Homo-oligomer: A and B are copies of this chain.
Amino acid sequence: MARSKAPNDQELLQGTLDMLILKTLVMGPAHGHAIAQVIEHTSEEVLQIEQGSLYPALHRLEDRGWLSSTWGASENNRKAKFYKLTAQGKKQLALEENRWRQMSRAIGLVMGEI
């Protein structure tokens, strides 16, 4: 009998959120809520970024030096923390893009999507 749960359809591919956030910030600084909306929108609502994933990821990226942050006001005049890509963050994004390309191609080979 089939026990336990099959993987959730809505879940992100673990390890890709950091890359998506970094990529979004190439366009310029943004606050967390806006970053999530941009990702959701440009992925045609396929990717859903939960707040419980978003904020830990932002803090993690800042801890690692890929992002810097400053408090400011959002477009709606709300208090918001704006994140900006650092020089190290740009390097990291390049690394993660390469890794993504390599990995998705490798998986494509196995899956016969040549």
Contact = CB atoms under 8 A, between A and B. Distances in A.
Contacts of A104: 104, 107
A9 B64 contact: no
Q: How many copies does the complex hold?
A: 2
Interface in A25-80: 39, 42-44, 46-47, 60, 63-66
Contact of A16 (B3, B13, B92): B13
Q: Name the prevailing secondary structure of the A interface residues.
A: helix
16 contacts: A3-B64, A6-B64, A6-B92, A7-B18, A7-B96, A7-B99, A9-B99, A13-B15, A14-B14, A20-B110, A23-B112, A42-B109, A42-B110, A43-B107, A46-B106, A104-B107
